[in-house]
Structure 1
Amino acid sequence: MKWVYVNQPSAYIRKYELTEDGNTKLVIKFNLDQQTVRISSEENHRLFFIGKTGLWHNKTILKNEYGVEIGRLAIDKVHGTGIIEMEGKRYNYTIQNGSELVIFENSVSAPFAVCDMTEAPSFTSLSATKYSNEEYACFLLGICWYLFPLTPAEQTEYIPTTIA
């Protein structure tokens, strides 16, 4: 898998495609101004909000389109590692060789996914400090959403019901 940057006419929107074997699996559009990410696949289209929390705003919160928190992201940019919690599950990630985003549960030698990031940014080389926390959140949210889709029962659990 790899993330590919797609040029957008707007300076405030960054568009990336998650491709595998030449096929586009997922498209994310990150709105810098509104701090939102739209994720689209053939079957689904979702909107997520990205916020900050923590004493120094060092943690990122992910909320669905209803404002319900679905995950958190902690980033150690110095070491290029971090943790993402999604729907009660915890995953680790790291940047390896300056160009690969690796997501794993317990051991980096048994990853869930390895994504090539060389074509993701609009600049030529990947550094842990080149992406904002929000962009990391977009990439990780997209990969987790693609790899670990919610079951129909889990999806209905997060849809608010109307109160009469």
Structure 2
Amino acid sequence: MKWVYVNQPSVYIRKYQLTEGDNTKLVIKYNLDQQSVRISSEENHRLFFIDKTGLWHNKTILKNEYGVEIGRLAIDKVHGTGIIEIEGKKYHYTLQNNSQLVIFEHTITNPLAVCDMAEAPSFASLSANKYSNEEYACFLLGICWYLFPLTAAEQLEFSGATVA
């Protein structure tokens, strides 16, 4: 899998495609102005919001289109590692060789996903903080949404609805 940057006519929107071979698995559109991300696949389309919190705005919170918190993101840019907790499940990630985003549950030797980031713009300049925490959240949310789709009951639970 790899993330590919797609030219977007608006300066406020960054569009990326998650591709596998010649197939586009999903598209994310990150709106810098609204701090939102639209994730689309052939079957589903979702809208998420990315909030910053904490004393120095160092925590990232992910919310669904209804404003319900679905996850959190912790980033250590110095070491290129972090944790994404999404819908009650925790995953670790690391950036290897400044060109691969690796997601794993318990050990890096057994990754859940490895995404090539070479075709995302200036990804090699991670040490210069090219991407914001919000953009990392978009990439990670997109991968998790693609790899671990929710069941119908989980979708109801995290949308704030009650199951009768």
Matched residue, 1:127: 126
Alignment pair present for 1:141 and 2:141: yes
- RMSD of equivalent CA atoms: 1.3
Aligned residue pairs, count:
161
What whole-Å deviation, never above 9, does each CA across 1:70-128 have from its counterpart, x for those lacking one? Answer: 0000000000000000011100000001100000011111000000000012x363424
Shift of 1:160: 3.9
Task: Tell me: CA distance 1:133–1:124, structure 2 relative to 1, closer, same or farther (3 Å).
Answer: closer
Shift of 1:158: 2.6
Q: 2: distance between equivalents of 1:70 and 1:84? A: 11
Q: Which runs of 5+ in 1 are unaligned?
A: none
Residue identity in the other structure for 1:34: Q
What whole-Å deviation, never above 9, does each CA across 1:13-53 have from its counterpart, x for those lacking one? Answer: 00000000110000000000000000000000000000011
Q: How does 1:5-154 map to 2 (within 5 A)?
A: 5-121=5-121, 123=122, 125-128=124-127, 129-154=129-154
**SS of match in other structure, 2:120:** coil
Identify which range, 136-145 or 55-64, moves more after superposition.
55-64
Residues 16, 28 of structure 2: 8 Å contact kept: yes
Q: Provide the identity percentage.
A: 80
Residues 60, 134 of structure 1: 8 Å contact kept: yes
Residues 118, 126 of structure 1: 8 Å contact kept: no
Residue identity in the other structure for 1:91: Y
Residues 61, 72 of structure 1: 8 Å contact kept: yes
Residues 53, 60 of structure 2: 8 Å contact kept: yes
Q: 2: distance between equivalents of 1:48 and 1:17? A: 17
Q: 1: distance between equivalents of 2:161 and 2:150? A: 18
What whole-Å deviation, never above 9, does each CA across 1:50-79 have from its counterpart, x for those lacking one? Answer: 001112111100000000000000000000
Q: 1: distance between equivalents of 2:157 and 2:31? A: 27
Q: Which runs of 5+ in 2 are unaligned?
A: none
Task: Tell me: CA distance 1:95–1:68, structure 2 relative to 1, closer, same or farther (3 Å).
Answer: same
Q: TM-score, normalised by structure 2?
A: 0.94
**SS of match in other structure, 1:120:** coil
Residues 82, 92 of structure 2: 8 Å contact kept: yes
More helix by share: 2
Residues 49, 65 of structure 1: 8 Å contact kept: yes
